[in-house]
A = this chain, B = another copy of it.
Amino acid sequence: MAQDKSTRRPRAETPKGFRDYFGAEVTERKAMLDKVAEVYHRYGFDPLETSAVETVEALGKFLPDVDRPNEGVFAWQDEDADWMALRYDLTAPLARVAAQYRNDLPSPYRRYAMGPVWRNEKPGPGRFRQFYQCDADTVGAPSVAADAEICAMLSDALETVGIPRGDYVVRVNNRKVLNGVMEVAGVLDPTDPDRFANERGIVLRAIDKIDRLGDAGVRALLGEGRKDESGDFTKGAGLGAEQAEVVMAFMAARRATGLETTARLRELVGPSTIGQEGVQELETIADLLDRQGYGPDRILIDPGVVRGLGYYTGPVFEAELTFEILDEKGRKRSFGSVAGGGRYDDLVKRFTGQSVPATGVSIGVDRLLAALQAKGRSTANTTGPVVVTVMDRDRMADYMAMVSDLRNAGIRAEVYLGNPKNFGNQLKYADKRASPIAVIQGGNEADKGTVILKDLILGAQIAQNATLEEWKDRPAQVEIPRADLVAQVRKMLDQ
């Protein structure tokens, strides 16, 4: 017997960890990114679109020292046995471009990039293997004026997409200040960099938990360690009480104004050169922003911002949405971070050997879009098309002429192209399309030179099972001359 061919059919499934975006999901994201791009453009940033594929060597983070260097990335070998991979962010390709075209690009180079990135990680709820990033970076500008500009632009971008002032704050910190504080606290031992890195990591993680653990919990983690409710013990950074006190003071250094905060930080970093430099940078940023009208209601010096401090080398910033939403358990919580960034060095140096200063920000596209949707501020038009139904398949040309008239007047419209026999199916179709109006012309109407317009938004709830006759009796429909089609549809849509 021949093998059953049906068993060889491919499965119609989105690959695990990936997803498909339909209709409004595409247009809403596009509308948001278009607005962000408009702001970036106004700030003089130019778009850059690199290929999705890079050499693993250029991506750098993932070295080809194993047989399949696809840890974290999707990678394959090309015909020359070189390892290629899908980009995992938009910063690594920028570094490659900045090095490759360094003689042709303007310097400083302001660029923005929007597009998908890929991560070969275990997928989870809300965690996908392909997602959008939206980055803006300035390469080759050593001055913190570049960092201030990024913060102002981020603030403008958030307001432009629909987050009103007061519903967000951009917090600014500086990695150098923390280094200074730790130097003063005696944590920084220049002769043992490994130990320092380890202790700094513990301190950073402890600071990051202040919201959850409170002062006492963080103090314990800065010292010997902490036992949680379940009895598990987390080893601490081993700081003495006085050392811990300095770090705690750093976290609590935020004051009512940026100037007061930096004054307090200046006390805390004391004689540390790196610390003084960091405070000076924060002062300059606060002053530049203030002079442009970006006060602490929008952009704030806040030593409590830690995320990413380990990665960055100078100023860091994070945009937080401050309004509350209900989490999956129905509890109120602040929406939280939607963008972050900071100054990083040695990005281009990997390629050229020459250090190039850079600073930038990345917006979490899906999170910001979710925030807009949560607040009902997504502005994409998701109205379906006017649907012209087909009562008599021999008069398809008449129906197509109707949609043509509507479209030429700028009205989104389509004719039903399925099997027209079952009129109920046509109404179900219009319903599925979120159509605002159905146009109907049977033989009687054609003879009279009229069409029937049915208001589907009004009639949606009963349209599913009604027959044509029941349906024509509904009050939410009008019979009009064919010649008035465009004018009457426009009137109904404008209501």
Q: Which residues of A contact B (CB under 8 A)?
A: 6, 9-16, 18-23, 25-27, 30, 41-44, 46-55, 57-58, 60, 70, 74-76, 78, 84, 86, 96-97, 99-101, 106-108, 110, 116, 118, 129-130, 138, 140-143, 145-146, 148-149, 152, 156, 287-288, 291-293, 350-353, 384-385, 387, 393, 396-398, 400-401, 404, 407, 410-419, 429, 432-433
Contact = CB atoms under 8 A, between A and B. Distances in A.
A450 to B, nearest CB: 19
13 contacts: A9-B350, A9-B352, A12-B100, A13-B58, A14-B51, A23-B47, A52-B116, A74-B76, A76-B76, A110-B414, A140-B418, A145-B415, A292-B397
Contacts of A397: 287-288, 291-292
A150 to B, nearest CB: 11
Contacts of A48: 20-23, 26
A356 to B, nearest CB: 11
Contacts of A96: 12-14
A258 B406 CA distance: 26
A70 B74 contact: no
Given A44-B385, A141-B417, A404-B293, A49 B26 contact: yes
A74 B23 CA distance: 28
Contacts of A41: 412
Contacts of A46: 22-23
A400 B57 contact: no
Contacts of A11: 55, 57-58, 351
Contacts of A76: 70, 74-76
A419 B97 CA distance: 21
Contacts of A429: 106-107
A49 B20 CA distance: 6
B385 A148 contact: no
Contact of A100 (B14, B23, B53, B100): B14
Contacts of A44: 384-385, 387, 412-414, 433
A299 to B, nearest CB: 13
A489 to B, nearest CB: 13
A206 B394 CA distance: 38
| For the complex of A and B, 8 pairs with smallest distance between CB atoms | A44-B414, A12-B99, A18-B51, A141-B417, A44-B385, A26-B47, A12-B100, A291-B397
A110 B300 CA distance: 48
A10 B47 contact: no
Copies in the complex: 2
A117 to B, nearest CB: 10
A353 B6 contact: yes
A4 B433 CA distance: 64
Contacts of A22: 46-48
A55 B145 contact: no
A41 B129 CA distance: 29
A129 to B, nearest CB: 8
A47 B26 CA distance: 6
Interface core residue of A11, A41, A411, A429 (most chain B CB under 10 Å): A11
Given A52-B130, A53-B129, A106-B432, 8 more contacts: A9-B352, A10-B55, A12-B97, A15-B78, A42-B412, A44-B413, A75-B76, A108-B418
Given A44-B413, A49-B20, A130-B51, A152 B404 contact: yes
A177 to B, nearest CB: 21
Given A53-B130, A152-B404, A42 B410 contact: yes
Contacts of A292: 397, 400-401, 404
Contacts of A13: 55, 58, 96, 100
Contacts of A293: 404
A50 B20 CA distance: 4
A7 to B, nearest CB: 11
Given A57-B10, A108-B418, A145 B412 contact: no
B74 A401 contact: no
B130 A419 contact: no
Contact of A49 (B21, B70, B417): B21
A345 to B, nearest CB: 16
Nearest to A10: B57
Interface core residue of A47, A99, A116, A156 (most chain B CB under 10 Å): A47
B351 A417 contact: no
B97 A20 contact: yes
Contacts of A384: 44
A61 to B, nearest CB: 11
